[in-house]
Amino acid sequence: MTDRVALFDMDGTLTDTNALHVVAWWEAFRQAGHTVPTAAIHRAIGLGATDLLERLLGPDRDTEGDEALKSAHTVLYGTWFGRIPVLPGARDLLRELADRDWRIVVVTSAGDTELKALLRALDADDAITDIAGGAHVTQGKPHPEQVERALRMASVPAERAVFVGDSVWDMRAAARAGVAAIGLLSGGLPKADLTEAGAGEVYRDPAELLDTLDDSAFARVASG
């Protein structure tokens, strides 16, 4: 069994879905009578749904409307399930790491139906070892619980892991778990935000990371 694990976020990291989430949340808020700027929604993508609602609507909101908002987002986002775009190099990156004897665990807050659609679009099940999904943890990113669960699933210590994500929440979760973090700009956030949140290095997208794999945190952890 390999002694190292590559942890990957899904939305904005392997699949080009952040903008779809933004539009779906914006419309869900609009239908419920809330005016929320798309820029604010974008910066909240990567949080679990409850944390996203608290960040955007505040802790003093009427939480009785939360489930309706979540359901509206799910329905709206689900209209794209048959045509989810995959980011350049995503499949090849996962398969190259698997070929190099890395275990690969996807770390995501996506629900079961959404996750199935994402995995179907990604079409890289042969490279993925496990899924650390939101249904199995009580706290989403930036809390480290999801990352720590992924480490336990792989039976690998934090220093033998690398986390790849696109949001500040990904970077903070990795940092709090003691895992080396790589940020990708494919989620739409600026490099400075990812670096400030804990990214040790930042790449444009999975394709650029693949092209420089031998100079990345993956090479350092593999040789350590």
Q: Phi and psi of 201, rounded to 5°?
A: -155, 155
Pair (91, 67) in one structural domain: no
The pLDDT tens digits for 183-214 are 999 999 999 999 999 999 999 999 999 999 99
In which region does residue 182 sit, left (phi positive, over 0), alpha (psi from -120 to 50) or beta (all else)? beta
pLDDT reported for residue 24: 98
Do 112 and 190 lie in a common domain?
yes
Instruction: Give 5-43 pLDDT, tens digit per residue.
Output: 999 999 999 999 999 999 999 999 999 999 999 999 999
CA–centroid distance for 112 within its chain? 15
Whether residues 94 and 32 share a domain: the answer is no
pTM, whole model, 2 decimals?
A: 0.96
Q: Is the pLDDT of residue 137 over 90?
A: no
Task: Identify the domain containing residue 198 by its residue range.
Answer: 5-16+85-223
How high is the pLDDT of residue 66? 97
Whether residue 96 sits in one domain with residue 69: no
* 90, 173: one domain: yes
The confidence score (pLDDT) of residue 147 equals: 95
Residue type, position 107, single letter: V
Q: What's the number of domains the chain is made of?
A: 2
Stretch 140-169: mean pLDDT: 95
Q: Give the pLDDT score at 179.
A: 98
Beta-carbon contacts of 164 under 8 Å, excluding residues fewer than 6 positions away, are 6, 7, 8, 9, 13, 181, 182, 184, 206, 209
Look at residues 46, 53, 55 and name the one whose alpha carbon lies nearest to residue 173: 46
Q: Inform me whether the pLDDT recorded for 3 exceeds 80.
A: yes
The predicted pLDDT at position 2 comes to: 77
Name the pLDDT band for 136 (thresholds 50, 70, 90).
low
Q: Which residues fall within 8 angstroms of residue 149, CB to CB, at 6 or more apart? A: 132, 136, 137
DSSP states of the chain: --S-EEEE--BTTTB--HHHHHHHHHHHHHHTT----HHHHHHHBTB-HHHHHHHHH-TTS-GGGHHHHHHHHHHHHHTTGGGPPBPTTHHHHHHHHHHTT-EEEEEE---HHHHHHHHHHH--TTT--EEEEGGG-SS-TTSTHHHHHHHHHHT--GGGEEEEESSHHHHHHHHHTT-EEEEEGGGS--HHHHHHHT-SEEESSHHHHHHTGGGSHHHHHHH-
Tens of pLDDT, residue by residue over 51-63, are 999 999 999 999 9
Q: How many CA atoms lie within 13 A of 194 on its CB side?
A: 26
**149 and 183 share one domain:** yes
Judge if 73 and 36 occupy the same domain: yes
CATH assignment at residue 45: 1.10.150
Q: Are residues 197 and 101 in the same domain?
A: yes
**Beta-carbon contacts of residue 213 (< 8 Å; ≥ 6 apart):** 93, 96, 97, 219
Question: What is the structure's pLDDT at 189?
Answer: 98
The domain that holds 162 is classified in CATH as 3.40.50.1000
- Which pLDDT score, from 0 to 100, does residue 190 have? 97
Mean pLDDT for the chain? 95
